[in-house]
Amino acid sequence: MVSQGLAIVAAIILVASPTLASAREHTRVERVTFKDGRATLKGRIKGYAYADYVFPVGAGESMRLSLKTNRLSNYFNVTAPGAEEAMFIGSSSGADFSGTAPVAGDYTARVYLMRSAARRGTVANYALTIELGQTSASEPKGPDYADGLTGGPDRWEVFGLASGDSLTLRDRPSAGATSVAAVANGAILTNLGCRNTGGERWCQVQDPAGNRRGWVKGGHLREAAGPK
């Protein structure tokens, strides 16, 4: 009887393995890049495969996600950082989600097919739109952030700009905010703290002399040893 039971289990594993292998092969994880707080992700999934889209949100910041698809069985879930269960489940709540982030960190939007459709090998073509920052974060920094976003080092060095380019210092953490000044490669800036706004990291900085203060995008900042 034991041998017969083991044979049945082995047979089940052999049958399931191609399906699981196929799902792994077509499953992907993608970090979202935003422009002015908005991103549209287009993709295709089949069967048990799914796509995970990872994006940073500040505590209290607004999120709006919507899914357009050619299959009624195609949905998305939203999961907060560190959570075991989704805060939004598309299969029971629909193709649109609007809310605020309970904590700061990386959120995940998973696009998937219902099991009944997955078993049939259904193929879905979709476009997932994510909008952030209509309501700014109430706690852009704090215990929910990883160390690098809680404030980072004492000083930043500007780097990675193309020849002749400069990094714009703005009065608010937004690409549409008023320009305060421009800083060049190699400039050393005092770090006053960073936040995620509209899916992008912005850092409030000040020149060591204290003459200029404003916000810059964090992609061209790296830790500096000290003022020059």
Contact 86, 97 (CB under 8 A): no
209 and 161 share a domain? yes
Average pLDDT, the chain: 82
107 and 198 share a domain? no
Within-domain flag for 72? yes
Within-domain flag for 21? no
* Count of domains for the chain: 2
40 and 119 share a domain? yes
Q: How far is it, in rounded angstroms, from Cα 50 to Cα 195?
A: 30
84 and 33 share a domain? yes
The domain containing residue 46 runs over which residues?
Answer: 26-132
Confidence of residue 9 (pLDDT cuts 50, 70, 90): very low
Within-domain flag for 41? yes
Q: Which of 104, 132, 160 is the last residue of a domain?
A: 132
151 and 127 share a domain? no
156 and 119 share a domain? no
Within-domain flag for 64? yes
Higher pLDDT, 173 or 67: 67
Q: What sign results for the dihedral spanned by CA atoms 70, 72, 77, 78?
A: positive
179 and 202 share a domain? yes
Within-domain flag for 175? yes
Domain of residue 111, CATH code: 2.60.120.380
Contact 41, 57 (CB under 8 A): no
Q: What sign results for the dihedral spanned by CA atoms 153, 139, 219, 78?
A: positive
112 and 168 share a domain? no
Maximum average pLDDT range among 142-146, 202-206, 210-214: 202-206
Q: Which of 132, 165, 200 is the last residue of a domain?
A: 132
Within-domain flag for 121? yes
What is the pLDDT at residue 143? 39
52 and 78 share a domain? yes
Domain of residue 207, CATH code: 2.30.30.40
Within-domain flag for 171? yes
Q: Is the pLDDT of residue 195 over 50?
A: yes
> C-alpha angle with apex 27: 72 to 85, nearest 5 degrees?
70
Q: What is the mean pLDDT of residues 186-205?
A: 84
Within-domain flag for 14? no
User: Does the global pTM surpass 0.85?
Assistant: no
Q: How far is it, in rounded angstroms, from Cα 16 to Cα 11?
A: 9
What is the pLDDT at residue 139? 54
What is the pLDDT at residue 49? 96
Q: Is the pLDDT of residue 88 over 70?
A: yes
Q: Can you name the residues that pair with 156 across neighbouring β-strands?
A: 189, 223
Q: Which of 132, 162, 189 is the last residue of a domain?
A: 132
